[in-house]
Amino acid sequence: MCSQAMMRCGDSAFRWGDRTYIMGIINLSPDSFSGDGLESIDEARRRAYRMVQEGADIIDVGGESTRPDSNPVSADDEIRRVIPFIGSISKDIGVPVSIDTYKYEVAARALDAGAVIINDISGSSVESGIAGLAAEKQVTIVLTSNQRGKMASDILASVKLQLKDLTDRCVACGVRPENIIIDPGVGFGKTVEQNLEIIRRLDEIKVLGYPLLLGTSRKSFIAATVGSTQEERFMGTAASLAIGIMRGADLVRVHDVRQMKLVCRMSDAILERDIGK
């Protein structure tokens, strides 16, 4: 269990509990589930810099869609999509860059290009060797509970057990506890009802003792609950984040940084935290 209240990622310090931090999403996959996939490096750069201006504390870069019916992408294709972009922004964007991948080769190349966080959604980072890479490079790793292919009947118990197992094995591989963030994996092999339950009971996952990332932005459980139009997904995302922050989320992963920054500030004000600028 991590007892540290602060994490360093590159030149940035994250003081967990002071306020809610924001991870902005850059998708370099043409078949992104949310329709925001970018193929132009220049366009992606403009979006990333705008996100930082709007309040993003981390830029999370992915080159493969994570929607359930998406086609797998080879490591070579993923590298071709993300590495030039990461190399073009990592030195001067002013916030840490994260690589959203479960492939060792992609993660290694991304770290060489300037990324300082590995966001692995596979739920099996130890088997993929990514934990050893994070330990070797002394970088932050996000560990996700992923139920795809193994649907759980008791979702909270399953999520907590998997995250406890992942964090323990990563620490055994040499990852520093203060370099671990956990993600309950909203949308990854879970029913609509289970996703809602996770957000409602997020504080029960928080007891594992690690900073907690919540990623609900534009996901299908929101569409199934309130509607699938852009406005409906947007408002559903805002509601899910506000409640998630009240239940203990430290970091939120979002597409709409400017608007969700306001959600974070309002939630933090209610919790008597630092609301920043």
Do the domain assignments include residue 146?
yes
Number of domains, the chain: 1
d(CA 217, CA 237): 5
Q: What pLDDT is attached to residue 232? A: 97
Higher pLDDT, 3 or 45: 45
Percent of the chain exceeding pLDDT 70 equals 93
Q: What pLDDT is attached to residue 1? A: 53
Q: What pLDDT is attached to residue 36? A: 52
Least confident interval from 2-11, 117-126, 177-186, 226-235: 2-11
Do the domain assignments include residue 13?
no
Higher pLDDT, 53 or 67: 53
Positions marked catalytic: 219, 253
Do the domain assignments include residue 16?
no
Read off the pLDDT band of 34 (50, 70, 90): very low
Pairing mode, strands 213-214 and 21-27: unpaired
Do the domain assignments include residue 49?
yes
d(CA 164, CA 5): 19
173: number of Cβ within 10 Å? 18
CATH of the domain at 259: 3.20.20.20
Q: Is the pLDDT of residue 33 over 50?
A: no
Q: What pLDDT is attached to residue 151? A: 81
- Of the chain, the end-to-end C-alpha distance in Å amounts to 32
Which residues 6+ apart lie within 8 Å of 168 measured at CB? none
Percent of the chain exceeding pLDDT 90 equals 84
Q: What pLDDT is attached to residue 67? A: 66
Do the domain assignments include residue 7?
no
For the record, the structure tokens of 74 come out as 């080879």
Do the domain assignments include residue 2?
no
Read off the pLDDT band of 148 (50, 70, 90): confident
d(CA 62, CA 171): 25
Do the domain assignments include residue 176?
yes
Domain range enclosing 85: 21-270
| Burial letters 212-244, b for 16+ CB under 10 A, else e | bbbbbbbbbbbeebbeeeeeebbebbbebbbbb
**pLDDT tens, 153-193?**
899 999 999 999 999 999 999 999 999 999 999 999 999 99
Do the domain assignments include residue 109?
yes
Which residues 6+ apart lie within 8 Å of 103 measured at CB? 75, 78, 128
Q: Coil, strand or helix: which one is 115?
A: coil
